[in-house]
Each structure stands twice: as C-alpha cells, then as structure tokens.
Amino acid sequence: MSFINTPPQISIPITGSAETFPVHQIYCVGRNYQKHISEMGYSQGKTVPFVLFLKPPDAVVQNGQTVCMPGFTNDFQHEVELVIAIKKEGSKISEKLALEYVFGYSVGIDLTCRDLQNEAKKKGRPWTFAKSLQNSAPISDITPVEKCGYLQEGNIQLSVNGNIRQKNDLKNMIRPVQKIISELSQFYTLFPGDIIFTGTPDGVGKLKKGDRIFAEIDGLEPLTITIN
Ligand code: MG
C-alpha cells in the first residue's frame, strides 16, 4: 500500500534501546488522587467519576526540550503524572489481565491552561483548549516493565527551579494502573502505541518563562523541561 503523503510519526525513545515507541492515541485520566481532588474544589462524592480527556499525538514533547507558553493563557500549570505505554490491542480488558498490556512507563507532565479550563467548566464547554494542545505532554523516555516491574507504589515528585512543588506516592492513586486500563478499555479499543496519563497528585501550580522543571518517579527515567 502507498500513501499520498507522510504525516509526522510521533515517537518516544525507549531506555536502553535504539528502537522508539510510535505514539497512537494519548488518553488522560483526571481526578485520581484525593488531595488533588480537594485542591481543585470538587465535592467529595462516594465514588470518584472516571474523568477522561484526550491529547493529540503531537502533544508529545521529548525529554530535555523547551516548551513555549501559549500566548492565550495567564495560568499555565504543571501536573506530574505516571504515564503508561500500551503494547497490544485489546478491548473490555479485565483488571486481572490488564497488566499484560503494559509495555512500560514514563514520567509525564500534563501541561494545562488552568484559566481556560476554569472558564470551560463554568460555561459547560469541553476542555480542549485548556488540555489538548500541541506540545502539552512532555514525556520522559519509556522504561520497559522488564526493567522497572509493574508500578503500584513509589515516590512521584516535581520541582520547579529546585523547589519541590508536587510530592506524593503512586500507591495513593484512586484508580491504580490495572483499573485504569480495564475501565478505559470498556469505552475504547486500546492499540499498541497508546499512551495513558494517570492523573496528577496535589501541588499543581503556575509556571513562568524561564522555569526549569524536573519531574521524577522511582525507577523511571526522570524528565527535564524548560518553559519559555
Ligand atoms: Mg492531569
């Protein structure tokens, strides 16, 4: 088969490998740590809804790169998150089998225009302009599960210019990795190349030009990004 053109193929490096991970879809889960739910002012229901949005593949920013702050926001914020890389196709996956679909993990930042998100919430509009922007998903190189195991706990942390702003533990995720994969796959068929952001802990905050972000999760390649 031949194609009439060649759109950019977005991919993410894999630690210790010359091969890269081609990106298909980018799914993002919201409200997955209780303290973040509280800081965002959501009411405490008995069950936390499965909040989901998507980013385009060209949201990916490689480790070490600079992100230009969009000109239409006055409140550009960081959200450090564990990122899951999916290795095979599946739908309606049970929690028991979900980890078989994990290729590896990265550290990611869900860059968010909080002012536009708050405006969208008020007006009942989608979060697209707040969340689903190009260059809004810096991701560190993927560490395969063969090297880091299946992550259920461990420190997750983000610093800006050397000051720690976010610090929590993966064990505090309301929906752990296997539950996210299972629940997401009830709505979407997952494919190799899919990336899932798993939600941020508390401490999200505003960024300014010149900020240098360092994000880390135990056992994974850390992520460094500069804002301009
Ligand atoms: Mg997020």
Distance 200 CA to ligand 1 centre (A): 5
Looking at domain 11-227, its CATH class is alpha beta
pLDDT band for position 36 (cuts 50, 70, 90): confident
Query: Residue range 59-83: average pLDDT?
Result: 98
- Compute the radius of gyration of the chain from its Cα atoms: 17
Tell me what pLDDT residue 101 has: 98
**Domain boundaries defined on the chain:** 11-227
Query: Residue range 56-74: average pLDDT?
Result: 97
pTM, 2 dp = 0.96
Tell me what pLDDT residue 16 has: 94
Rounded CA gap, 211 and 225, in Å?
A: 8
Decide if 125 contacts 103 (C-beta within 8 A): no
pLDDT tens per residue, range 102-124: 999 999 999 999 999 999 999 99
Decide if 150 contacts 84 (C-beta within 8 A): no
Distance 81 CA to ligand 1 centre (A): 7
pLDDT beyond 80 at 83: yes
Task: Spell out a b/e string for 84-118, using b for 16 or more CB atoms within 10 Å of the CB, else e.
Answer: bbbbeebeebeeeebbebbbbbbbbbbbbbbbbbe
Tell me what pLDDT residue 125 has: 96
What integer best gives the mean pLDDT of the chain?
96
- Among 194, 206, 218, 198, smallest CA distance to 60 is for 194
Distance 6 CA to ligand 1 centre (A): 31
Tell me what pLDDT residue 186 has: 98
Rounded CA gap, 165 and 157, in Å?
A: 8
Tell me what pLDDT residue 46 has: 75
Distance 97 CA to ligand 1 centre (A): 25
Torsional class of 20: left (φ above 0), alpha (ψ -120 to 50), beta (otherwise): beta
pLDDT tens per residue, range 13-33: 999 999 999 999 999 999 999
Q: What is the 3-state secondary structure (H, E, C) of 172-206?
A: HECCCHHHHHHHHCCCCCECCCCEEECCCCCCCEE
Distance 10 CA to ligand 1 centre (A): 21
Distance 199 CA to ligand 1 centre (A): 5
